[in-house]
Each structure stands twice: as C-alpha cells, then as structure tokens.
Amino acid sequence: MDVQLVQPARVDERHFPVDEVDPLSGVLHVTQQVKIVDRKLVFAPPKNGKLRDVPLPDSVASALAEHMTAFPPAEVTLPWMRPDGEPVTRLLYFTGAEGGAVWRNAFNAHAWKPALAAAGVIPKPGPGERYKESREDGMHALRHFYASVLLDSGESIKALSAYLGHADAGFTLRTYTHLMPSSETRTRKAVDEMYRRARRPPTAP
C-alpha cells in the first residue's frame, strides 16, 4: 500500500510492469494501463496517450522490492487495446488472487474499502450490508494526496502536471490551486529553514 500512496499513476495504470520500474535511475516509466473494453480487460496506452517518466523515490523502490520478495511478479497476457487485439504479455508487480490482472471493482470491494474501514475512514458494514459509497475516498484520492505532498514541498505546477499525465498545466493549476501553500506559509518555511541551517553546529574540518 505504501507504493500506491505516493505515486501519481491513475488507478488503471497501477499494475506496474516490472520493466517500467528503474530503481537504479530512480524513474518509473508510465507506458500502459489495464482497462475494461466490452467487459474484458485489455492492455492499452495511458489515458490520452500520455507516456511519461515519473521520479521514483528510494522509499517507494524499496517498498516495491519488498513486495516483489513477498509476492513474486506474474506474467499476464491480455489483448492490446481491444478484446480481439494482438495478445501482449507483461510481467506485473500487482496481480489478482488467481494471478491475472486486477479488476478495478474487485480491488475496490476486497482491498481498498476494507482498508478504509479498518482505518476508520468509512464505517464498517453490518451483516449483509455493503460498504458505504464514498466517491471522495476512492482510489483517485491517492493522486490528490500525491499532488498535495509535492505542492507542499514546493514542486512546480508544470512538473506536477507532467507527472500526473495531464494534457494541460492550466487544468492542474485549476484542480490543485487550493492545495498550494500560501505565500505567507512559504515565507515562514523559508525563514525558519534559514535559521535552522544557521544554528547547526559547524562540521569539523
């Protein structure tokens, strides 16, 4: 779950083929997604064809390595772009219980919502009840969390837009402007950091 919390990929892009992850270079290549076409799963390019490279933090690369040790990647074969498309086989980090690609609805019902309930974000259902519908707490919220972390750290809207795969940085700005630190907050952080550096004991020559 740590991997999912700090990556900007859309839900359908989070299957992570092993050859798209480059921990040595610190890069995640987003080149495909698993989507539903006519009730069948297919491999396809990312939304709007936005192939992109995203910085891969060491902490996320380490979490992926631990996941790979506990749950070895599995080869998954799906048609390309449409149900009658050319079969494509990829080695995926994340697969379903039977080794196939993960269906979004199954993940939502059997992994995501139980995790939300365990964390107290949504109520646990009673006997015979379903989990509460909560669109704002869906998997897409992880992209918003990622955006908020980067913006709070001073990342630019242009860079964030590229990482999220948006076609227009203006859309990114309109969507996330409320998450951007105010000028007052940035000023306080800048001055506080300057004083923290000034107060550090000098290092030995």
Residue holding tokens 């690609």?
Answer: 101
Distance CA 86, CA 69 (A): 31
Distance CA 16, CA 2 (A): 14
For helices 157-164 and 141-152, what crossing angle results, to 10°? 150
Model pTM? Answer: 0.74
Digit-by-digit pLDDT tens for the chain (205 residues) are: 444 444 555 555 567 899 999 999 999 999 999 999 999 999 999 888 889 999 998 888 898 899 999 999 999 999 999 999 999 999 999 888 788 898 888 888 888 888 888 988 888 888 888 887 777 777 778 888 888 888 888 889 999 999 988 888 888 888 888 777 665 676 677 778 777 888 877 766 5
Distance CA 134, CA 124 (A): 13
Q: Which residues contact 102 (CB under 8 A, 6 or more apart)?
A: 15, 34, 94, 95, 96
